């Protein structure tokens, strides 16, 4: 059966995945692999949020992008994962403050908007897993997991920490980051790293769900 190998690994904890409710913000190079991993692991109740459409530049790193150029990402992904719930909207700071996250067990942040990420940290830190910069790198073995205050080697993460301190935020939440020094100033990206971010986020989500 589809999930037999997962059940062998997790035992009775597998039911916790099937009962969980997750919202995933951003389904690009990181989020699309996280989504696929969650679905293949047995998580059934997933809501994805994104506003963007696929274009040719996505095809080096984003799941299913080569099949759906010009289509909205959430609508395209629902064709492959019919059971997911989709919200086609830009995740910005105001949307985060207005949206009700109460019903979700986990909030997975794979977006790029700094102000929205800060709002998510302030509002959802107890159930948040956040991805930092995955672009401009080539070494997937440098991808790490730590609480926000122990992340390092990432200029984007440093900016997030600085801005949180300015807001008086002292709580902890889980972050996925790379300690690898960036290789370019351009927005170059390598699927080996971006996908590793997504798969690591999925793994952390499962660990949190099964306790």
Both tokens of 186, joined, read: 């351009």
Distance (Å, whole) CA 177 – CA 35 = 18
Distance (Å, whole) CA 23 – CA 104 = 7
Indicate the CATH number for domain 4-210: 3.40.50.720
**Which residues, in sequence order, are bridge partners of residue 46?**
22
- 3-state SS, residue 177: strand
**What is the model's pTM?**
0.95
Domain ranges for the chain: 4-210
Distance (Å, whole) CA 165 – CA 200 = 26
- From first to last of the 211 residues of the chain, give the pLDDT tens digit: 899 999 999 999 999 999 999 999 999 999 999 999 999 999 999 999 999 999 998 888 988 999 899 999 999 999 999 999 999 999 999 999 999 999 999 999 999 999 999 999 999 999 999 999 888 899 999 999 999 999 999 899 999 999 999 999 999 999 999 999 998 888 889 999 999 999 999 999 999 999 9
* H or E stretch covering 106: strand 106-109
From 25, 161, 20, select the one nearest 95 (Cα to Cα).
Answer: 25
């Amino acid at each position: 059966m589809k999930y037999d190998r997962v059940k062998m690994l997790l035992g009775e904890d597998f039911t916790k995945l099937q009962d969980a409710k997750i919202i995933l913000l951003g389904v690009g190079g990181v989020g699309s692999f996280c989504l696929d991993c969650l679905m293949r692991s047995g998580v059934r109740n997933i809501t994805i949020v994104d506003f963007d459409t696929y274009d040719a530049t996505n095809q080096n790193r984003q799941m299913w992008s080569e099949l759906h150029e010009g289509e909205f990402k959430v609508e395209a992904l629902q064709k492959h994962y019919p059971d997911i719930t989709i919200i086609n909207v830009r995740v910005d700071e105001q949307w985060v403050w207005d949206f009700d996250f109460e019903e979700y067990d986990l909030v997975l942040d794979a977006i790029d908007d700094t102000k929205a990420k800060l709002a998510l940290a302030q509002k959802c830190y107890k159930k948040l897993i956040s991805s930092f910069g995955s672009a401009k790198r080539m070494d997937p073995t440098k991808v790490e997991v730590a609480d926000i205050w122990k992340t390092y080697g990432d200029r984007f993460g440093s900016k997030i920490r600085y801005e949180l301190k300015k807001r008086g935020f002292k709580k902890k939440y889980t972050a996925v980051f790379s300690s690898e020094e960036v290789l370019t100033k351009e927005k170059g990206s390598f699927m080996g790293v971006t996908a590793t971010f997504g798969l690591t986020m999925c793994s952390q989500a499962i660990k949190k769900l099964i306790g």
